[in-house]
Structure 1
Amino acid sequence: MATLDDVAKLALALPEVVETDYRDRRAWSVRGKTFAWERPFSKADIKRYGDEVPPELPVLGVRTDGLVEKEAILADPPPGVFHIPHFNGYAGVLVELGRISGDDLRDVLLDAWLAMAPQELVDRHRGGQG
């Protein structure tokens, strides 16, 4: 089971990532662009689940590199990755930390960082290989 501290450790290992406080919750950004954040459910989110049990908190929101990538992820998501109606039309997915593996969490965070980091920083991270 991953925790927000695990997220912080993985995210902060990426170049130029800072942890911030967004609405009294943890978030991670690169050069001012948030790529991952703690995402509790709103009352409306809970209501949409009806009789279904919503995913267990903590939940992480992560950016994707556009809606096409989001749909590709959701076509065959790793365990713990999901979507809610509030995210319709938004380039991001949600991650139930209690269900995702460490390797999948690392991959999801890296992809989110790559989606938000400036190209020159991405190129440097990849050792000049684009």
Structure 2
Amino acid sequence: MADLDDLRRLALALPETEEGTHFRLVDFKVRRKGFAGMLPNGHAGLSVPAEQVPALVAEHPVLTELRRFDKVIGVELDLGEADVDLLGRLVELAWRTRAPKRVVAAWEAGNR
């Protein structure tokens, strides 16, 4: 089972990530673009590409679509039901989705 501390550790391990708040809830941003954070219901929200959401939800029953104004904007995850490995993959995917390409490329070059 994952928790907020895991989300924090995984998000802050990625380059140029900053922790803040959004509507008084924990939020993580890269270059002022939010990619992960807590939702009012206590679940985590992760900004992943909308076209990948159906496959992710089908593969991982702990995920649900995250929508805003009837538009899919990512996935919602009950941290208590998720393992840390899945959370890590989703945090990285969300970060890659929102980070500038040159930041991602530099990070990838340093991790080879």
The TM-score, its normalising length taken from structure 1, stands at: 0.77
1:92 aligns with 2:69: no
Matches within 5 A, 1:48-59: 58-59=42-43
> Which residue identity is paired with 2:14?
L
1:9 aligns with 2:4: no
Unmatched segments (≥5 aa) in structure 2: none
Q: RMSD between aligned alpha carbons?
A: 2.0
Is this contact kept in 2: 1:87–1:93, CA < 8 A? no
Q: Which residue of 1 aligns with 2:86?
A: 104
The TM-score, its normalising length taken from structure 2, stands at: 0.89
Is this contact kept in 2: 1:25–1:38, CA < 8 A? yes
Higher strand share: 2
Structure number with greater Rg is 1
Structure 1: 4+ residue segments shifted above 3 A: 84-88
Aligned residues: 111
Percent identity of the aligned residues?
32
For 2:56 and 2:70, the matched residues in 1 are separated by 14
C-alpha change, 1:85 and 1:8, in structure 2 (3 Å) is closer
Is this contact kept in 2: 1:10–1:109, CA < 8 A? yes
Structure 1 residue 90: Cα displacement: 2.1
1:64 aligns with 2:48: yes
